Amino acid sequence: MAASSRGISRTLLPSPKSRAAIAKRMAAVSGEMTTAAVAEMEVRHPWFSELDAKHRSWITLVAQAGIDGFVHWFSSPEPSPPSTADVFGSAPRELARRISLYQTVELVRTTIEVAEKQIDELMPRSDRPVLQAAIVQYSREVAFTAAEIYARAAELRGAWDARLEALVADAVIRGETDESVLSRASALGWRSSADVVVVVGPEPEDETGVAIEGIRHECAKAGVDMLGAVQGDRLLVVLGGDRIAEPEAALAVVTRFAGIFGPGPVVVGPPVEHLADAARSTRAALSGYRAAVGWPNAPRPVLADDLLPERALSGDGHARRALARTVFGPLADSGSGLLETLVVFLDNNSSVEATARALFVHANTVRYRLKRIQEVTGYSPSDARDAYGLRLALTLGRLLPDGRDSGRG
């Protein structure tokens, strides 16, 4: 008998009459083969003994169906590829939830090895060579069938998870995070109990699912939880974990996957304390995303708070209030001449000497006050970009009552 690496060639098998006779003899001992296979599973695989009676009985049925399927295929009068679709019956869908693909492969391997051994022990010597060659081909087809079943199950689960993730992310972004949403997020692998950041960027040019999985991979390496969803032409990503508690730390994490977004700005919202508060980070990130066109040379990614001037000019009331409260208010309350020094410094083309002459103070006093302004506001008057933000903050501080915006924004 001839055999190849792909199994025995059906054209070289015995005549249909001879195959039918061999198959009949093997069918008579198939029950003993199944019993031996299940017994060997118990010996080899400790986890098999831990299964409940229902799952163990299903595996027994699968093993019996596999052996019976081989007998039926071998006895078929017309050469054809093995059809193993009925080997697993209705069990795989349930079994796939209870045992892994690796465990399934181990069970198939055990069953085939036992069947080969039983052929040598139970079948006549003249039947053994052709049966051993044939079972090689049949076992390969069984393994492919098992892999196909698990692949389909994984695809279905992946599609379901993607839909669920999109729903959860949408609810979080819109501020509709109740206990059911938190529970679903947990089911998707969200473990963070604090520190959340929302990132907004252009929709990826690559296939969306692949892009989101790429971001998830980078987040996993960074030790950060992640949810993602595409809304229109934008991709919104929700990050969680203590590693993004500070804006600069969050920026560093987003830098790892910023290239996955499509062309355009990638804006990182401010950290908030909980997933239920993510809408605040979303609001800032979306506002920054819309206003980023006003700063063409902005870094990528960029913090939403670094876009406060553009956001304020584009009509974001939260940004106007933030500039007035965090810049103008503290300077006005300092009582150390900081506000006056800043105004004069900006009005004199950022010249320290001209500012000193106008205020009748030493140039070193001006330098000290400029340093204090940076410490109080986070903006350096000597930096062109920061000076732009400070100038706008001064204007807003004067326009808004007590440095606050009483109107709607």
Query: Higher-confidence residue: 166 or 338?
Result: 338
**Is 162 part of a structural domain of the chain?**
no
**pLDDT tens across 339-397, in order?**
999 999 999 999 999 999 999 999 999 999 999 999 999 999 999 999 999 999 999 98
Give the SS3 label for residue 192.
coil
CA-to-CA distance for 262 and 246, rounded, in angstroms? 26
Q: Supply the range of the domain harboring residue 102.
A: 3-155
Output DSSP code: residue 324. Answer: I
The structural domain count of the chain equals 3
pLDDT of residue 37: 87
CA-to-CA distance for 290 and 318, rounded, in angstroms? 14
pLDDT of residue 149: 61
**pLDDT tens across 278-290, in order?**
888 989 999 999 9
Same domain, residue pair 256 and 367: no
pLDDT of residue 377: 92
pLDDT of residue 408: 36
Which CATH number do you get for residue 102? 1.10.490
Same domain, residue pair 30 and 106: yes
Same domain, residue pair 227 and 96: no
**Which single residue is written with the structure tokens 């940004």?**
319
**Is 290 part of a structural domain of the chain?**
yes
Same domain, residue pair 345 and 294: no
**pLDDT tens across 31-49, in order?**
888 888 888 888 888 888 8
The predicted model gives 164-185 an average pLDDT of 63
Same domain, residue pair 307 and 339: no
Which CATH number do you get for residue 185? 3.30.70.2730
Query: What one-letter code names the amino acid at 89?
Result: G
**Which single residue is written with the structure tokens 């670094």?**
306
Range ranked top by mean pLDDT from 1-10, 202-211, 334-343: 334-343
Q: Cis ω on the peptide bond leading into residue 301 (within 30° of 0)?
A: yes
**Strand ranges in 211-349 using DSSP code E only, listed in sequence order:** 225-231, 234-240, 267-268, 302-303
Residue among 309, 317, 270, 271 at smallest CA distance from 293: 309
Cα-only R_g, the chain: 35
List 199's β-bridge partners, or say none.
237, 268
**Strand ranges in 53-152 using DSSP code E only, listed in sequence order:** none
Same domain, residue pair 291 and 326: no
Residue among 274, 78, 284 at smallest CA distance from 179: 274
CA-to-CA distance for 307 and 319, rounded, in angstroms? 9
Query: Which of 262, 291, 313 represents a domain boundary (last residue)?
Result: 313
Same domain, residue pair 355 and 239: no
The predicted model gives 134-163 an average pLDDT of 65
In terms of Cβ atoms closer than 10 Å to its own Cβ (0-12, 13-18, 19+), residue 352 is middle
Same domain, residue pair 8 and 138: yes
Helix, strand, coil proportions of the chain in percent (round to 5)? 65, 5, 25
Give the SS3 label for residue 7.
strand
Same domain, residue pair 23 and 120: yes
b/e sequence 104-140, b meaning 16+ C-beta within 10 Å? bebbbebbbebbbebbeebbeeebbebbbbbbbbbbb
Which CATH number do you get for residue 370? 1.10.10.2840
